Amino acid sequence: MSEFETRRRKVFDQMKDNSVAIFFSGVSKIASEDECMPFVVNNNFFYLTNIKQEHSALLLIKGIGERRTYLFIDPYSELKEKWTGKRLTSDKAQALSDIKNIYTTDNFETMLSLALAEENNQYGKIDCIYLDQGSPEQKLKDDFFMKDLVMKLTLDYTGKEIVDIYPIMRDLRMVKSSAEIDNLVKAIDKTNKGIINMLNKLTPGMYEYQLADIFEMYGRQLDRSSLAFSTIVAAGKNATCLHYPTQDDTVKENELILFDLGYNHEGYSADISRTFPVNGKFEGLQKTVYEAVLACNKAVIEMAKPGLTIKDLQDFATEFLRKECIRLGLMEASDDIRNYYYHNVSHHLGLDTHDISDRSKPLEKGNVITVEPGLYFAKYGIGVRIEDDVLITLDGAVALSKNIAKEVYEIENLMKNRG
């Protein structure tokens, strides 16, 4: 079976007998007047279909002794193609998804009604309807959202159970296949190239936003890579704001500069943070803080393994940084480390940068998580975060981003030998 057939089979395996599951790609939301927001596909739909086109739907039917899969796409419209470009043909949709039963969206409601019919139903009596309710505000068509569909089906089919399939999708997406890991590695490797290209152009006096623009443009020139998320470039004191938004300060020679960034590959997101000295050399307090964070980053990666939870990693990182800050004289024993380290050390990574997950669930082989400790001292104008993307293996963890410089000597050599 193909990658996407395998994923759908796993969903079928989790579904009750005599049930259907419905997924939608979604449609664009209105930004203002007649302007729409850029369309972003529902990633649970994409995960099962490899289709990113809006106004598409997937119907899975688990009937008596059989499983049927139907994909619905927009019918051909000469007018729409004149305005918004080519739409998927049935042949193209089948090639992308490995789904043989392709219909147009104007057939969806009829097909669903036939599947849910009480009499003369070729699938037997369907008792359960699975809906992807993780995003109740997901827009399905004009003025009609997922929450509206839940209500409509509840009223129209009073004898049938309505079940949220989001937990099933969450648990499946938490464990990455080899194909998914390969996509993540490619996203990370491209991100490394983007970082090096940006550093080659880094000079004191530049604006932060200019560096963000350089990173974004490089990805487009490389292979039209989209961003995994909005690039964060924060110099000096600005790095003490985790999601620093404005990027309108100049970069000064004696500051550290923090980057939190990543490209996307085939839908999969890299998420990397690195902190560099603008003048090319770590000195004094900057080096002290940086090495404390680096030691924590490496210790958490060394610790991570199946059976631990993200909370275990967070508790370890918090205590590690607390002890380091006291030892180095960066805080008093009576101080609260949360004044200087005020975020989590990890989250799951995948199709979403903060991928869907159950943070209380023990880690297992195939999980991909971030490891991103940091220390932030506004009074010194120093913020440091070092973030790697890490694969949980059978008995430990491997940093997929190991080729991105983070050791002091690696960074200083990289900065010294910039092209």
DSSP letters for 234-260: EEGGGGGSTT-----SBPPTTSEEEEE
What is the number of domains present in the chain? Answer: 2
| Percent of the chain's residues with pLDDT above 90 | 87
CATH code of 71's domain? 3.40.350.10
Q: Do 182 and 138 belong together in one domain?
A: no
Confidence check: pLDDT of 84 > 90: no
Q: Do 274 and 159 belong together in one domain?
A: no
pLDDT level of residue 53 (50, 70, 90 thresholds):
very high
Q: Do 305 and 332 belong together in one domain?
A: yes
Q: Closest by alpha carbon to 60, among 1, 12, 4?
A: 12
Compute the average pLDDT of residues 301-326.
98
Q: Which residue has the tokens 């003048």?
A: 279
pLDDT at residue 330 in the model? 97
Q: Is 77 exposed, middle or buried (0-12, 13-18, 19+ CB in 10 A)?
A: exposed
**Which tops the pLDDT comparison, 298 or 121?**
298
Q: What share of the chain is helix, strand, coil (3-state, %, to 5)?
A: 40, 20, 40
Q: Do 331 and 283 belong together in one domain?
A: yes
Q: Do 196 and 290 belong together in one domain?
A: yes
pLDDT at residue 213 in the model? 97
Q: Do 162 and 105 belong together in one domain?
A: yes
Q: Do 224 and 373 belong together in one domain?
A: yes
Confidence check: pLDDT of 418 > 90: no
> Where is the domain boundary, 173, 198, 228?
173
Tokens describing residue 269? 């997101």
pTM of the prediction? Answer: 0.95
Q: Do 203 and 84 belong together in one domain?
A: no
pLDDT at residue 136 in the model? 82
3-class state of residue 273 by DSSP: strand
Over residues 228-238, the pLDDT tens digits come to 999 999 999 99
Q: Do 155 and 188 belong together in one domain?
A: no
Q: Do 252 and 238 belong together in one domain?
A: yes
CATH code of 234's domain? 3.90.230.10
Q: Do 166 and 179 belong together in one domain?
A: no
> Where is the domain boundary, 126, 156, 173?
173
Q: Structural domain of residue 285, as residue ranges?
A: 175-416
Compute the average pLDDT of residues 32-57.
92
Compute the average pLDDT of residues 393-411.
98
pLDDT at residue 82 in the model? 85
Measure Cα distances from 397 to 155, 174, 182, 362, 367 in Å: 48, 15, 16, 14, 10
Compute the average pLDDT of residues 260-266.
97
Compute the average pLDDT of residues 372-388.
98
Q: Do 68 and 17 belong together in one domain?
A: yes
pLDDT at residue 79 in the model? 85
CB atoms within 10 A of CB 360: 8
Over residues 9-26, the pLDDT tens digits come to 999 999 999 999 999 999
3-class state of residue 19 by DSSP: strand
> Where is the domain boundary, 150, 173, 196?
173
- Which 8-state DSSP code applies to residue 71? E
